[in-house]
Amino acid sequence: MRTDRASEIIRLLGQTSIPSSENISAFSLNKTDCTQVVVPEEVFFTIAAVGILENLLVLIAVIRNKNLHLPMYFFICSLAVSDMLGSLYKTLENILIILCKMGYLKPRGDFETKMDDVIDSMFILSLLGSIFSLLTIAADRYITIFYALRYHNIMTLKRALIILAAIWTFCAGSGIAIAIFSHETAVVISFTILFPLMLIFILCLYIHMFLLARSHAKKIASLPTSTVHQRTNTKGAITLTIFLGVFLFCWAPFVLHILLMQFCPHNPYCACYMSIFQVNGTLILCNAVIDPMVYAFRSPELRSTFKKMFCCTRSNWK
């Protein structure tokens, strides 16, 4: 997929040799043109660095603590890896742009085109990995709730690793295929349909879990001496809304961009939407920062592992 940022490197390298006068005469832009909304590189770098660091911390914590060698945490690690890949993609792109600025990279070389392809497939890999990791986390929680007594038999460590291997192989293959065939309409449509389908499926799982928790809360409330407040279920609704909201707000703008790029590149309305592409990219980086907070840091065991890690480093300094 020729994402705009990645291919802008190539474009930039080519652009410099064309005199600016030719630019102006070749393209008559209206004054009411939608100019691209530029996000400063420093912002990109900062958010990407924070995302990478956070997800790396999650990975280190899970690897270090033996108690966390469980299917649930492996799925959270998978999500952390895919978020890290997404942030790495942005960082690499920015580094390449800076190298172009400084003139170290040869323009239009094979290396740059190949780098472009590799970067694009890495981005799609991260996107697909993210979606599938969220799906496995939801499915794992669903099995925990509805098959609680058989959970240990259904979700063994070996099965979890097999599932993760299968998912990542599929995502890698799809990433390469989509990057190569990104101009095909069928590829774009199938990619775009995958996103809402996954979202609806995850939503159904969580709503079913939510309904069960609600009925349990009602049963507890019906016991003679218990005082369960209505706030419990409001908190559940808030949590579900946060999951849904983060997923939608971070990914939907980009998916819509891909759709519009394929179907109406010349339409002025679509062009105005596509002018905020860098903001959409920033949102994907923000997703990498927010996901650990929403999924990983809610576990008390993981939080205590972090505290131990930081306390150990502090005591080492002393």
What is the footprint of another protein within residues 133-152 (CB under 8 A)?
Answer: 138, 141, 144-145, 148-149, 151-152
Q: In a 10 Å sphere around its CB, with 0-12 CB exposed, 13-18 middle and 19+ buried, how is residue 47 labelled? A: buried
Residue 125 carries which side chain, given as an amino acid letter?
L
Locate tokens 């849904």: which residue?
244
Locate tokens 């349990």: which residue?
216
Minimum separation from the CB atom of position 134 to another protein (A): 11
Does residue 299 bind another protein (CB under 8 A)?
yes
Does residue 11 bind another protein (CB under 8 A)?
yes
Q: In a 10 Å sphere around its CB, with 0-12 CB exposed, 13-18 middle and 19+ buried, how is residue 214 labelled? A: middle
Contacts 24+ apart (CB under 8 A), 253-260: 253/279, 253/280, 253/283, 254/280, 254/281, 254/283, 254/284, 255/191, 255/192, 255/195, 258/1, 258/188, 258/191, 258/192, 259/188, 259/192
Site for another protein in 40-79 (CB under 8 A): 67-68, 70, 72-73
Residue spans of alpha helices (H) in 16-109:
20-26, 41-64, 71-102
Minimum separation from the CB atom of position 130 to another protein (A): 17
Q: Would you state the torsion angle of the CA atoms of residues 104, 110, 113, 118, taken in this order, to the nearest 10 degrees?
A: -100
Q: Which is nearer to another protein, 103 or 173 (CB)?
A: 103
Q: In this chain, which of 21, 28, 315, 316 binds another protein, going by CB under 8 A?
A: 28
Minimum separation from the CB atom of position 292 to another protein (A): 14
Alpha-carbon distances, residue 33 vs 29, 57, 183, 274, 278 (angstroms): 6, 44, 26, 12, 17
Q: Which is nearer to another protein, 169 or 226 (CB)?
A: 226
Does residue 93 bind another protein (CB under 8 A)?
no
Distance CA 280, CA 186 (A): 23
Minimum separation from the CB atom of position 47 to another protein (A): 18
Distance CA 7, CA 27 (A): 19
The total number of residues shown for the chain amounts to 318
Task: Copy the structure tokens of residue 200.
Answer: 């609806």
Piece in contact with another protein (CB under 8 A), picked from 85-93, 98-106, 123-131, 185-193 = 98-106
Q: Which is nearer to another protein, 46 or 304 (CB)?
A: 304
Site for another protein in 218-257 (CB under 8 A): 218-220, 223-241, 243-245, 248-249, 252-253, 256
Residue 196 carries which side chain, given as an amino acid letter?
P
Minimum separation from the CB atom of position 125 to another protein (A): 22
Minimum separation from the CB atom of position 126 to another protein (A): 21
Piece in contact with another protein (CB under 8 A), picked from 6-14, 48-56, 125-133, 283-291 = 6-14
Piece in contact with another protein (CB under 8 A), picked from 9-17, 51-59, 167-175, 186-194 = 9-17
DSSP 298: T
Does residue 27 bind another protein (CB under 8 A)?
yes
Q: Count residues contacting another protein (CB under 8 A)?
A: 104
Minimum separation from the CB atom of position 205 to another protein (A): 10
Tell me if 90 sits within 8 A of 49, measured CB to CB: no
Minimum separation from the CB atom of position 201 to another protein (A): 15
Minimum separation from the CB atom of position 129 to another protein (A): 20
Site for another protein in 107-126 (CB under 8 A): 107-108
How crowded is residue 277: how many other Cβ atoms within 10 Å of its Cβ?
Answer: 20
Does residue 286 bind another protein (CB under 8 A)?
no
Q: Which is nearer to another protein, 173 or 265 (CB)?
A: 265
